[in-house]
Amino acid sequence: MAEGMNDLTKHVVDLRRHMWLDGVEVELRRLIWQIAVVGKYISARIHESNRKLAGFKNIYGEEQLALDRISDEILKNKLQHSGFVSQYASEERDDIVTIGKGTESYIVTADPLDGSSLVDTNLAIGTIIGIHKKSLFDCGRNSMVAALYITYGPLITMIYSAGKGAHEFVLDREGEYVLSEENIRLKGKGSIFSPGGLRKDWTDNHLKFIDALERDGYKLRYSGGFVPDINQVIIKRGGLFTYPALKESPQGKLRLLFELQPMAFIIEQAGGMATDGKTDILSLEITTVNQRSPIYIGSAAEVKMAGEFLNQ
């Protein structure tokens, strides 16, 4: 628990106060706060949307909900006016956008509304943010200073890490993000697994690994939304999410900058691991904005076990 807090006051600690206690530098604190506020606007738009499809495709050929575009615009505009962000890279845009004067300290990556195709089913979806201090074309370990994600489900929750643990906040009825868990720590080993991709497309070694998890009694928990699937690993204190290399797509499906690096940053801060089967996600060099990678992320035992199967 951060200095100055005790059990009695813990439940009323809001995000701003927590970041101040957490020692997050002023500009970064303001930036994280502003992004968290955008989450409230996005959630309002989700409620208003009534599940309407926009009928156009994004650069990956996926059908987009208008909500994706709206969320991206809201986020970009807010960041543009923050005065802290020089560049904005979004999964919804082809290129990195310069939104500052060039003197600002941070570069922000966003998947503004991940899993938006789940809106019609009323499953949870989310926003994923990475905050970098240097160029994006480096490895996350050198460039990232913070990451956060917001879940839009029965509750709106936000987990952030600025490099000193991972902390969860829940949006309360007054519209405040209130601390619900501080310094979340995963156990060394969990009991759930979320395997992406089709079994017929998996490599032999990945298939053997998943079979071993099933034999060990791991329970299948896959929603099709990266944010809630990672969130359950964190909140249940362990387990594994994977979207592996596929026979026809050796780099898997998920994008390093927008999805994998931020989640790897948070999971590592919660005591877990994230690799591509061999190398830590945060040690992978980024060379293109749309770079993808296989991922094994969660508690240490399962991620290490994946490495053993994949590298035999």
| Cα–Cα distance measured from residue 291 to residue 278, given in angstroms and rounded to the nearest whole number | 17
Exactly one of 225, 244, 277, 294 binds ligand F6P (CB under 6 A); that residue is 225
Work out how close the CB of 129 gets to ligand F6P at its nearest, in angstroms, rounded to a whole number.
15
**Token digits of residue 71:** 């969320």
Query: What Cα–Cα distance (Å) separates residue 54 from each residue in 47, 50, 59, 70, 234?
Result: 16, 12, 15, 11, 33
Report in angstroms how near the CB of residue 39 gets to ligand F6P at its nearest: 17
Burial profile 29-66: b = 16 or more Cβ within 10 angstroms, e = fewer: bbbbbbbbebbeebbeebeebeeeeeeeebeeeeebbe
Q: Is residue 282 a contact residue for ligand F6P (CB under 6 A)?
A: no
Residue 226 interacts with ligand F6P (CB under 6 A)? yes
130 binding ligand F6P? (CB under 6 A): no
Q: State the minimum distance, in angstroms, from the CB of residue 254 to ligand F6P.
A: 5
Q: List binders of ligand F6P among 88-117 (CB under 6 A).
A: 114-115
Using rule CB under 6 A, residue 262 touches ligand F6P: no
The minimum distance between CB 253 and ligand F6P, in angstroms, equals 6
Q: Do 178 and 172 contact (CB within 8 A), yes or no?
A: yes
Residue ranges of alpha helices (H) inside the chain are 7-10, 15-21, 26-49, 66-80, 140-143, 204-215, 226-235, 261-269, 300-310
Part in contact with ligand F6P (CB under 6 A); list of ranges 2-10, 45-53, 210-218, 223-231? 223-231
Q: According to the binding rule CB under 6 A, does residue 193 interact with ligand F6P? A: no
Stretch that binds ligand F6P, among 36-44, 132-140, 224-232, 267-275 (CB under 6 A): 224-232
Task: Give the interface with ligand F6P as residue ranges (CB under 6 A).
Answer: 114-115, 196, 224-226, 229, 253-254
